[in-house]
């Protein structure tokens, strides 16, 4: 069985989730979450982080992915970590603080 990897590319304004099968770099977007309160004081993005973490938890429970890579802006990553369940955190195999939420093209994060 081929492992399904999800890549979360996010900052406090937007979170995009991409999927790839096995070790390929052929990413397919599965979700695009936006923070309507991004321009307002959003308690450091806590509400949006809860929304993203909730989506990941629900997807984990539905067995939609086997492992998770986080490419998240540093401040948002700190807030997001606090809202991820321990079961979801165990599926994180890599974290990077490169915000790739606007830069995902053809499966690669480029600037």
Sheet strands (E) in the chain: 4-10, 14-21, 28-34, 67-72, 92-96, 104-105, 108-109
Distances (CA, A) of 110 to 17, 19, 51: 16, 17, 26
Residue owning tokens 């979170």: 15
Distances (CA, A) of 9 to 2, 57, 60, 94, 109: 22, 16, 17, 12, 9
Give, as one character, the DSSP assignment of residue 26: -
Per residue of the chain (111 residues), give pLDDT as tens.
789 999 999 999 999 999 999 877 789 999 999 998 766 555 668 999 999 999 999 999 999 999 999 999 999 999 999 999 999 999 999 998 864 544 443 344 433
Domains of the chain are 4-109 (3.30.420.60)
């Amino acid at each position: 069985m081929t492992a399904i990897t999800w890549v979360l590319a996010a900052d406090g304004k937007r979170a995009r989730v991409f999927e790839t099968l096995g070790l390929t770099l052929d990413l397919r977007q599965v979700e695009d979450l936006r923070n309507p309160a991004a321009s307002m004081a959003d308690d450091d993005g806590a509400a949006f982080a809860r929304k993203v973490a909730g989506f990941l938890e629900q997807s984990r429970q539905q067995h939609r992915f086997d492992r998770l890579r986080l490419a998240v802006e540093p401040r948002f990553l700190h807030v997001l970590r606090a809202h991820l369940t321990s079961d979801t955190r165990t599926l994180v195999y890599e974290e990077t603080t490169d915000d790739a939420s606007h830069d995902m093209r053809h499966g690669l994060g480029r600037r």
